[in-house]
Each structure stands twice: as structure tokens, then as C-alpha cells.
């Protein structure tokens, strides 16, 4: 690596190089970082570190924490680096380098939480999760039990059932809407697309409130897993619709025309040509929708009730689900309950990661295997 | 869109050609007529029904919340929007969304102030700075961040981020609280500012992915032109890419804002419930509309429930308006 960098840098005039070295010109890489650039940055950072230490440990009357020290170091590095580059390369290059540092650190700051979150949840959750955690309920677990006693079987069953019912309702409806938007494009298409876009950010608690007033109160059904599934359906529908419509749009028009030219009615061309061509992408749409709602807490808080007992019937009586389990346990003042909440959070995270990876695998196949060829160019 | 429509028409024309052979030959263009078979008519009705249900749901949500909220509106009158206290089930009910709306606005503003610069930086970094090989991985990472449930971010914020920030906030309050009134605080930690920071974690991925998508459509030849004229990479970004993506950035930020307004769990877990408007954003205590609904829901009696519906309706109207605007802006940015 170091040798190639050095070769790249050859055309830059160096006093110790013989003049005929420039005769065969290697490829110039204007964007490559040279050792001198890295040196400039490292030097600036080091001097800023010393400056920070000087200011905060020697000049100012008070001491600051480690975090604030790092922030101070970062803030001081910027002007020092700017001055160094300005001295060597001029103000335009200095602005460019400073922007590079700012943008890279902004991206690092925005993306670092995901590693911290996954790491923290894994560490706290692994302390609790064992086989019993998946096969026991909280029915016999009291405040004096160990953190490893009890489990979330009742919540897991609730989550699977509610998610399953929501998927069964939302997917046909969402795909049908997507077919309307993409294949028929009638007068309702524009308002429907706008509403679907707006619904993606419908406050989840409002969906819960709506189902609570309509199903739980008005019909007198009471809290049930099914009410929770309906609330999740409302949240899942726009995600499935939008993702499915994007997939259907990619299906080549020539396939539709071929089907129609062979004399098939529209519905057969959609059912037997368009949808099967897009099935991989549709699978992704479905999984994305499931991942969107599996961790929703607010709507199920208002609709499924929450319980410590295993209830396998989603159509009557209180049920639980994993986000609700985590939410209820984490608010307890007992440390063992809080520990169990982290176990639930870890399980939830694993569920989401599995769904995410499945969506990626399904999406990778692409409509009709075309994407394997396109992989080089698209995205 | 246009390409799609014209394809549909070629399909129609192909069908019409096959169906109209016995038409009498006349001068001028042949009239092409495509009649739908009964089964196709059924298919159209069913698919339109699907789209209709999607539309209907959002209308139903609005109507239902309004009907349920009516008693509360009648009791409180216009005071519903100016009262801070929340005591709907008392003998003399007194309640309003002013404190909730204020808290929602503060958390949303804090979240946006953090989200927008970070999202733009991340989008530009992925598009322009990251090595080509890392681009797909970074995009996946943003998508993954969007898939992580808000509950998990809220837990992490409560147990990791807030305790980590607390000494810094304490120091800031100590240094600046004397001169700046809004920096004063009796206790820090469960404040609107911290709730806003945690909400920002949930807004960053969605805003980033929309901005990145729009910025990646910036015309490449103009970017290369800027570089060929001797511009630096930063010069190219400020003169070509950011002006091109301005509407997309606004739209992405507004979609993130929609997320921030509706976020329930982070605010419920982090905030110390206080129905009060106070400008000291670092001080413990506050409430947002969504968390207010989640907290008050279980104690609510008849009028209390109606009042919660009214609060939900106001939140619903605000978010739907913002998201509709955002959807229009993003659509226009993508079409441009």
C-alpha cells in the first residue's frame, strides 16, 4: 500500500529524484491522500491536543470532563488545520480540506449511534437471555425472583400472532393498492399516492387511538390481540404499498404488452405476468412492512392491554407483545425487571435484524433475475 | 411516470389492433376502441377498491377522532388551545394542549437542529467522499438504522446517552445559567432537550436516505464541469450539488419532522411529566402530545378520553399537513 502511494506521488517534483523519472508518467490520482496530507492533519490534531490541554488544564480556573475535553480538542483542531493548509496550499484548498473534515466527522457522528446501540443492547441483553427466557412466562415471576427467572413466551406468541394477522390484512390490501397505482393509474391514483406518502409518518399513537375508539370501545370488543393487529395494519399499509408500487414500476412494459398481445385480459396479465415477475421485490416490500411495525409500542399500548399470562387466542382477552413487555418492564423500579427488559430488547433487535437481512436477500434476486445483470450498474 | 403511461397506451393500442378488424375502412385515422371484458371490469373494481380503502382509512381516522373529540371541544371551547393544565376529569374540568404542543414543538426543533446538518453531511459523505466500494455498505447501514425500533433507541437514550450527557449539561447550566435565562435549570436529565436529542436518532436515517437519493440525481456532467474548471470538491458541492438538491433537502427534513412530532416512546420514557410551558429547555420536566396521550390514557375517564382524542386529532392534523407538504416537495424534487 505504502509503495503504491509513493509511486503515485512521483510526478510531484521532489528534489532527491533524478529528472528522467518523470519521463514515463504513472496515472495521476488527484483524489488520493498523500502522506504529506495525512501528516498535515495529524500534526494539526496533535498541536490542537496540546493547545486544549494548555487552555483547560493550565489557563482556565476550572477543570472539565473527558467528553468536554474531546469536544474542545475537536473544535480547536479545525482552525489549526485550516491555518496549516492555508499556509501550504492557499485558502481555496484550506476551505476544501476543512469541509472534508467537517463532513466526514458529521457522517461518523450520525452513524456511530447504531454501533453503540447494537453493542449496548447486546451486552445488557445477553446477561438475561437463556433458553428459559423464551419458554417461560411472567405468570409466576414476582419482584423477588432472579432476573433469569421468568420469560417472555407470552409476549413472543402475542407478537407473532399480531404480526401475522396484520401481515395477512395489510399485504393483500397494499399490493392491490400498488396494482391500482401502477397498472390502472385511474383518477384515484394521485390522491392515493399522496395519502400513502403522508401515512408513512402517521403518528403511531394516533393509529392506536383510532382503533381503540373504533374497535375496543365502539364495538365493545375490549382489548385483544386482534385490535393490536388492526392498529399495526394501518401503520404497515403505506410501507407495503409504496415499496410494492416501486417494484411493479420496474417490471418491463414489454412483458405486459406481450401478454396483452397474446389475447390475455388485463387481470390475467397482472396476475400471471406482472406480479410473478416482481415477486422477489414484493417479498422485500412485505418484509419491510413487517420490520416497520414489529417494534411499534405506542399503538399496542392502547389496544392489546398487556398481560403476564400466556393467551394464545388473539381474538379475545388481553394479550402481550415484545415491545409492550420491554416498555412495561423497563419502567419498573426493580433491577431484575429492568434486566429482563434488556433481554426483550435484544430479542426485538434480533427479530428486526433477521427481517432486514431477509429483505436484503429477497431484494437481491430482483424482478425476473434481471437485477443480477444490472447489479454492476444500478445503485 | 410519463414513460409508464405511454407504455400503457401502447398496450391499449396493441389490444385495439387485435380487436377491431371488421371496422369499415375510412379516410383518416382509424378509431381505436378497447372494450373491457366483464372479468377486467371486475379486476378494475377490486383494485380500485383496494386504493379506495387506503384513502378511506385516513378519512375515517380523521372523522372518528373528531366525533370522539367533540365533547371535549364543546367543554373547553377555544381554551383547549391555550390552557396548559390537563385536568379533564375533575369536577370543574380544565384542560388544553398548549403545554403538550409546546413540548412537541421544542423536541421537534431540537431534533431538527441536530438531524438536518448531520443528515446532509452523511448524504454528501456517502455520495461524494466515501470510497466506491463502501458506498453500498454505508447506504445499507442507514437503512438498517431506519429499521431499528424507536423503543430501542429510547432505551439506549435513557440508559446511555442521557447519563453520558448529564455532566456536560450540568456544566453548561452552571456556566451559562446566570446570563442566559433559557439555560437555567434546577435539575437536568429528563428534559425536553434530551428527549429531542433521542428523537433526532430516529429522524436521522429517514432524512439521510431521502437527501442522499435526491443528491445522487445531481447532473454528473455539471459536477464534472465544476471540477474541470478547477473547482475543489467542496466548491463542486456548494455550487452544483446542494443548490440542485435544495427542495429534496427541505422535503427530507419535513418527513423527518413528521417522525419527530409523532414519536411517543422516547418522550414517554425520558420526560418527567409536567404540564407546563417553560422556556428552560435543559430543565427536567415537560410533555409532548404523543407521550401525553400514552401517559394519561390509563387514568382517563369519559371526558378525559374525549380530551385525549382531541389532543390526538390536533397532532394528526399537524403531522398530516406537514407530511402532505413534504410529499409534494419531494415528488417535485425527484421529478426535476
How many whole angstroms from its chain centre is CA A186?
33
Q: Which residues of A touch B272 (CB under 8 A)?
A: none
Q: Are residues B239 and B108 in the same domain?
A: yes
Question: What integer best gives the mean pLDDT of chain A?
Answer: 83
Distances (CA, A) of A228 to A163, A347, B152, B220: 9, 20, 20, 48
- In Å, how far is B55's CA from the nearest CA of chain A? 6
Percent of chain A having pLDDT more than 90?
33
CATH 1.10.3720.10 location in chain A: 153-370
Which CATH number do you get for residue B185? 1.10.3720.10
Lowest mean pLDDT among B32-36, B57-61, B307-311: B32-36
**Whether residue B106 sits in one domain with residue B40:** no
- Per-residue pLDDT of A336-351, as tens digits, reads 888 889 999 999 999 9
Binning pLDDT at 50, 70 and 90, where does residue B159 land?
very high
Residue B86 domain flag: no
Least confident range from A97-106, B173-182, B309-318: namely: B173-182
Which residues in chain B are closer than 8 Å to A192, comparing Cβ atoms? 51, 54-55
End-to-end CA distance of chain B: 12
Coil, helix or strand at residue B191: strand
The answer to whether the CB atoms of A204 and B264 lie below 8 A apart is yes
- Whether B12 is in a domain gets the answer yes
Based on the fold, state whether residues B267 and B315 are members of the same structural domain.
yes
For the beta carbon of residue B233, count every other beta carbon within 10 angstroms.
21
Domain boundary among B46, B78, B110: B78
Q: Chain A: residue nearest B312 by CA?
A: A206
Range of weakest confidence among A89-98, A161-170, A190-199, B146-155: A190-199
Which residue in the set A114, A175, A189 is minimally distant from B141, CB to CB?
A: A114
Chain B within 8 Å of A191 (Cβ-Cβ)? yes
Question: Is the pLDDT reported for residue A293 higher than 60?
Answer: yes
Q: Looking at the structure, tell me whether residues B116 and B229 fall in a common domain.
A: yes
Q: Is the pLDDT of residue B12 over 70?
A: no
- Cβ neighbour number for residue B65 with a 10 Å cutoff: 25
Distance from CA of B42 to the nearest CA of A (A): 9
Q: What is the mean pLDDT of residues A102-124?
A: 93
Three cell numbers, residue A122: 447486546
Distance from the Cα of A2 to chain B's closest Cα (Å) equals 18
Residues B172 and B281 in one domain: yes
A288: exposed, middle or buried (C-beta count within 10 Å: 0-12, 13-18, 19+)?
Answer: buried
From the list A105, A176, A302, which residue is nearest B297 (CB)?
A302
Mean pLDDT of all residues in A267-271: 91
pLDDT digits (tens, 9 = 90+) for B309-335: 999 999 988 988 888 888 788 777 777
How many structural domains comprise chain B? 2
Residue in chain B closest to A180 (alpha carbons) equals B47
Residue A104 has its nearest CB partner, among B125, B293, B315, at B125
Asked whether A260 and A287 are in contact (CB, 8 A), the reply is no
- Give the mean model confidence (pLDDT) for residues A183-201: 84
- In SS3 terms, B242-277 reads as HHHCHHHHHHHHHHHHHHHHHCCHHHHHHCCECCCC
Cell triple for A153 = 413466551
- Where residue A65 falls among pLDDT bands split at 50, 70, 90? low
Q: pLDDT category, A29, cuts 50, 70, 90?
A: low
pLDDT digits (tens, 9 = 90+) for A193-232: 888 887 877 889 999 999 998 888 888 888 899 999 999 9
**CATH class for the region spanning A153-370:** mainly alpha
Q: Which three cell numbers stand for residue B314?
A: 390536533
Q: Are residues B42 and B128 in the same domain?
A: no
**pLDDT tens, position by position, B62-85:** 888 899 899 888 888 888 888 888
- Domain shared by B199 and B298, yes or no: yes
Those of residues 245-264 in A touching chain B at CB distance below 8 A are 249, 253, 256-257, 260-261, 263
B275 is in which domain, residue-wise? 94-335
Same domain? B69 vs B123: no
**Within-domain flag for B88:** no
User: CA B148 to CA A120: how far, in whole Å?
Assistant: 14
Same domain? B125 vs B51: no
Q: Give the nearest partner residue to B39 out of A92, A267, A301, using CB atoms.
A: A267
Of A96, A106, A345, Cβ closest to residue B232: A96
**What is the spatial distance between Cα B252 and Cα B246, in angstroms, rounded to a whole number?**
10
B178/B318 same-domain check: yes
ipTM value for the complex: 0.82
Considering only residues B278 and A95, tell me which one the structure prediction assigns the higher pLDDT.
A95
Looking at residue A378, what is its pLDDT?
39
A184 at the B interface (CB within 8 A)? Answer: yes
| A33 interfaces chain B, CB cutoff of 8 Å | no
Amino acid at each position: 500500500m505504502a509503495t503504491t502511494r509513493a509511486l503515485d506521488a512521483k510526478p510531484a517534483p521532489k528534489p532527491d529524484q533524478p529528472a528522467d523519472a518523470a519521463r514515463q508518467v504513472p496515472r495521476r490520482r488527484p483524489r488520493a491522500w498523500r502522506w504529506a496530507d495525512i501528516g498535515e492533519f495529524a500534526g494539526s490534531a496533535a498541536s490542537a491536543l496540546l493547545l486544549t490541554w494548555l487552555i483547560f488544564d493550565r489557563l482556565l480556573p476550572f477543570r472539565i470532563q473527558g467528553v468536554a475535553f474531546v469536544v474542545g480538542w475537536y473544535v480547536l483542531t479545525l482552525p489549526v488545520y485550516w491555518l496549516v493548509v492555508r499556509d501550504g496550499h492557499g485558502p481555496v484548498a484550506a476551505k476544501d480540506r476543512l469541509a472534508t473534515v467537517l463532513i466526514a466527522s458529521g457522517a461518523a457522528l450520525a452513524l456511530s449511534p447504531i454501533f453503540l446501540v447494537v453493542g449496548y443492547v447486546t451486552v445488557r441483553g445477553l446477561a438475561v437471555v437463556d433458553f428459559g427466557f423464551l419458554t417461560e412466562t411472567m405468570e409466576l415471576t414476582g419482584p423477588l425472583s432472579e432476573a433469569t427467572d421468568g420469560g417472555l413466551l407470552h409476549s413472543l406468541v402475542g407478537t407473532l400472532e399480531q404480526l401475522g394477522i396484520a401481515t395477512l390484512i395489510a399485504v393483500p390490501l397494499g399490493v392491490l393498492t400498488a396494482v391500482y397505482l401502477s397498472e390502472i393509474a385511474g383518477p384515484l391514483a394521485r390522491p392515493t399516492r399522496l395519502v400513502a406518502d403522508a401515512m408513512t409518518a402517521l403518528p403511531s399513537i394516533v393509529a392506536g387511538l383510532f382503533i381503540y375508539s373504533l374497535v375496543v370501545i365502539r364495538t365493545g370488543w375490549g382489548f385483544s390481540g386482534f385490535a393490536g393487529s388492526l392498529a399495526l395494519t394501518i401503520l404497515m399499509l403505506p410501507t407495503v404499498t409504496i415499496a410494492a408500487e416501486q417494484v411493479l414500476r420496474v417490471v418491463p412494459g414489454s412483458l405486459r404488452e406481450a401478454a396483452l398481445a397474446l389475447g390475455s385480459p388485463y387481470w390475467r396479465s397482472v396476475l400471471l405476468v406482472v406480479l410473478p415477475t416482481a415477486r422477489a421485490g414484493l417479498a422485500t416490500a412485505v418484509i419491510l412492512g413487517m420490520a416497520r411495525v414489529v417494534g411499534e409500542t405506542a399503538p399496542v399500548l392502547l389496544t392489546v392491554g398487556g398481560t403476564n399470562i400466556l393467551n394464545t387466542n388473539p381474538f379475545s382477552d388481553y394479550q402481550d407483545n415484545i415491545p409492550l413487555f420491554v416498555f412495561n418492564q423497563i419502567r419498573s423500579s426493580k433491577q431484575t425487571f429492568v434486566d429482563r427488559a434488556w433481554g426483550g430488547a435484544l430479542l426485538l433487535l434480533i427479530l428486526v435484524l433477521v427481517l432486514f437481512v431477509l429483505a436484503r436477500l429477497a431484494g437481491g434476486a430482483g424482478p425476473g433475475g434481471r437485477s443480477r445483470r444490472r447489479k454492476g450498474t444500478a445503485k | 411516470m410519463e414513460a409508464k403511461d405511454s407504455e400503457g397506451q401502447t398496450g391499449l393500442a396493441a389490444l385495439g389492433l387485435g380487436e377491431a378488424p371488421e371496422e369499415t375502412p375510412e379516410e383518416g385515422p382509424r378509431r381505436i376502441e378497447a372494450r373491457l371484458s366483464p372479468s377486467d371490469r371486475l379486476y378494475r373494481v377490486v383494485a380500485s377498491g383496494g386504493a379506495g380503502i387506503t384513502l378511506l382509512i385516513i378519512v375515517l381516522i380523521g372523522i372518528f377522532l373528531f366525533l370522539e373529540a367533540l365533547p371535549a371541544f364543546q367543554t373547553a371551547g377555544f381554551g383547549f388551545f391555550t390552557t396548559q393544565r390537563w385536568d379533564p376529569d375533575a369536577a370543574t374540568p380544565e384542560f388544553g394542549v398548549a403545554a403538550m404542543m409546546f413540548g412537541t414543538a421544542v423536541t421537534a426543533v431540537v431534533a431538527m437542529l441536530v438531524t438536518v446538518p448531520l443528515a446532509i453531511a452523511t448524504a454528501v459523505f456517502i455520495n461524494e467522499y466515501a470510497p466506491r466500494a463502501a458506498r453500498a455498505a454505508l447506504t445499507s447501514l442507514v437503512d438498517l438504522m431506519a429499521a431499528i425500533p424507536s423503543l430501542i433507541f429510547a432505551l439506549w437514550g435513557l440508559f446511555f446517552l442521557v447519563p453520558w450527557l448529564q455532566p456536560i449539561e450540568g456544566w453548561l447550566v452552571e456556566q451559562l445559567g446566570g446570563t442566559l435565562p433559557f439555560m437555567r435549570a434546577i435539575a437536568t436529565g429528563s428534559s425536553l432537550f434530551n428527549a429531542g436529542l433521542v428523537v433526532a436518532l430516529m429522524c436521522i436515517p429517514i432524512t439521510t436516505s431521502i437527501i442522499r437519493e435526491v443528491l445522487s440525481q445531481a447532473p454528473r456532467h455539471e459536477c464534472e464541469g465544476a471540477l474541470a474548471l478547477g473547482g475543489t470538491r467542496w466548491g463542486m458541492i456548494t455550487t452544483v450539488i446542494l443548490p440542485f438538491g435544495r427542495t429534496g433537502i427541505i422535503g427530507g427534513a419535513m418527513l423527518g419532522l413528521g417522525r419527530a412530532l409523532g414519536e411517543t416512546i422516547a418522550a414517554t420514557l425520558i420526560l418527567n411529566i409536567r404540564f407546563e410551558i417553560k422556556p428552560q429547555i435543559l430543565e427536567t420536566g415537560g410533555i409532548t402530545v404523543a407521550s401525553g396521550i400514552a401517559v394519561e390514557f390509563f387514568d382517563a375517564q369519559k371526558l378525559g378520553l374525549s380530551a385525549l382524542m382531541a389532543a390526538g386529532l390536533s397532532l394528526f392534523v399537524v403531522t398530516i399537513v406537514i407530511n402532505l407538504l413534504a410529499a409534494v416537495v419531494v415528488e417535485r424534487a425527484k421529478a426535476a
